[in-house]
Structure 1
């Protein structure tokens, strides 16, 4: 087992760890009353995310999933950034897990001629808000989202990132 972090495109071998990581952060850390059944995308990640201009990645430390990020193709050269979660032990400057995951997703967007990345998040994720803003995401009003953007019930704060060329 290696003691370095790597990011790989999602495969079904990671499914149970991805679900456990996301649910633990949502339910235990942030007390958000959301279940696996409320997130059917987690039950078939490949079919939901890995199509068109979309993809899903897992950050692995050894053989443990410690972070996730995805881009959901919503058409017209736009994607929704979804499922960005990092194990609390792998946040911050030591591992830079969130930064590495975001960099990989934004590079993918550039390579696939995506024009804009949109995301929705809960007001509780204050550190995430600072992270997105530091990385060039602009806060936006819900009413300005593309019609095809999938708003989750917990999402009350929204951002947009304009992708620059290759």
Structure 2
């Protein structure tokens, strides 16, 4: 498996993976139209705004993660999703994606990472906590953190 910077050729596979996890696997009431960033990854995450990566196995997108730069050295994780077949210790897809994002943030002088998730993603909560992310209150988020409608649980990690 390889972790690669996003390219347009991965767009359709990425959308299918994210929507499949959200809607089919977890029953989250969210559509593609609710997530304009998925339709235009390059203009939402690249060009100095942050970055986006895909995990690829045999030309198949099996994981995604994005980071958006916020003010004051803060960043927001977005779209950390892995194909159900590529989760867990054997592949460590999520771990590799998160490690890549954290290294990128450190290289770019960032201080704190924030994220929001739905209360339905129990395994994701354990994953973040195992990676030294602390649960925080919504009121503790940076003012420029965009809370999504489905976000009900929030985490933060200092990286400096």
Provide TM-score, normalisation by structure 1.
0.95
What residue number does 1:93 align with?
89
Query: Can you list the C-alpha shifts for 1:31-58, whole angstroms capped at 9, x where unaligned?
Result: 0111100000011101101132510000
| Selected match of 1:126 from 118, 122, 127 | 122
What residue number does 2:9 align with?
13
Give the number of aligned pairs.
160
SS at match of 1:92: coil
What residue number does 1:147 align with?
143
Query: Can you list the C-alpha shifts for 1:44-94, whole angstroms capped at 9, x where unaligned?
Result: 101101132510000000100000001011222111000000000000011
SS at match of 1:75: coil
What residue number does 2:36 align with?
40
Using the alignment, how far apart are the partners of 1:59 and 1:76 within structure 2?
A: 29
Aligned CA distance change for structure 1 residues 10 and 72 (closer, same or farther; 3 Å): same
Q: Which runs of 4+ in 1 moved over 2 A?
A: none
| Gap runs ≥5 in structure 2 | none
| Gap runs ≥5 in structure 1 | none
Using the alignment, how far apart are the partners of 1:72 and 1:89 within structure 2?
A: 27
SS at match of 1:36: coil
Give the alignment of 1:68-83 within 5 angstroms.
68-83=64-79
Q: Which deviates more from structure 2 when the two are superposed, residues 22-31 or residues 73-82?
A: 73-82
Using the alignment, how far apart are the partners of 1:110 and 1:151 within structure 2?
A: 23
Query: Can you list the C-alpha shifts for 1:78-114, whole angstroms capped at 9, x where unaligned?
Result: 1100000000000001101010000000000000000
What do you get for the CA RMSD once the two structures are aligned?
0.8
What residue number does 1:52 align with?
48
